[in-house]
Amino acid sequence: MDKVDIKKQTGLGELADDALMIRDAVFIAEQRVQEQREHDDEDQNRIHYVGYLADKPVTTARVQVQGDNWHIERVATLSHARGRGLAQQLMQQIMTDARLQSARSMDLNAQVTAKPFYDKLGFTQRGDVFLDAGMNHVNMQREL
């Protein structure tokens, strides 16, 4: 498994720009999510995580801290970097950081196709499948 160099930043800046580049490639170009939906006003209020391989951004997620729960959003990995455990390393770092900040739980809305990935990380489905951005999603939660 390749080792990813994970960096984080709160709010806007170069790292958030790298995160948006990955999200644009995955959500807008590949999955056809509308640009105005992906480019929301929330980036300035989120913690951005970006994983780098050879100094190139390849995987990302953003976090909204909600009291003692961390809400994970916009998890994405560039197509050429998938299947190498990079997003898993990123999520494990986020879980470590959440624990260090005394979070008790994490939740996210996963595309149904990504549910097995989150199952392996200890997340469990809550509720029924719902439609978001034209794709089936499930809410998932993990206690820390």
Residue 61, burial from CB neighbour count under 10 angstroms (0-12, 13-18, 19+): buried
Q: Is the pLDDT of residue 1 over 80?
A: no
What's the rounded mean pLDDT across residues 22-30?
Answer: 93
Res 134: pLDDT: 87
Largest Cα–Cα distance in the chain? Answer: 40
Per-residue pLDDT band for 35 (boundaries 50, 70, 90) equals confident
Q: How many CB atoms lie under 10 A from the CB of residue 71? A: 16
State whether residue 84 is helix, strand or coil: coil
**Token representation of residue 28:** 């807008």
pLDDT digits (tens, 9 = 90+) for 48-106: 999 999 999 999 999 999 999 999 999 999 999 999 999 999 999 999 999 999 999 99
Domains and CATH numbers, the chain: 5-143 (3.40.630.30)
Q: Do the beta carbons of residue 48 and residue 16 sit within 8 Å? A: yes
List CB contacts of 126: < 8 A, sequence separation 6 or more: 107, 138, 139, 140, 141
**Token representation of residue 38:** 């992906």
Res 41: pLDDT: 86
Task: Report yes or no on whether pTM surpasses 0.85.
Answer: yes
Average confidence score pLDDT of the chain: 95
Q: Is the pLDDT of residue 30 over 80?
A: yes
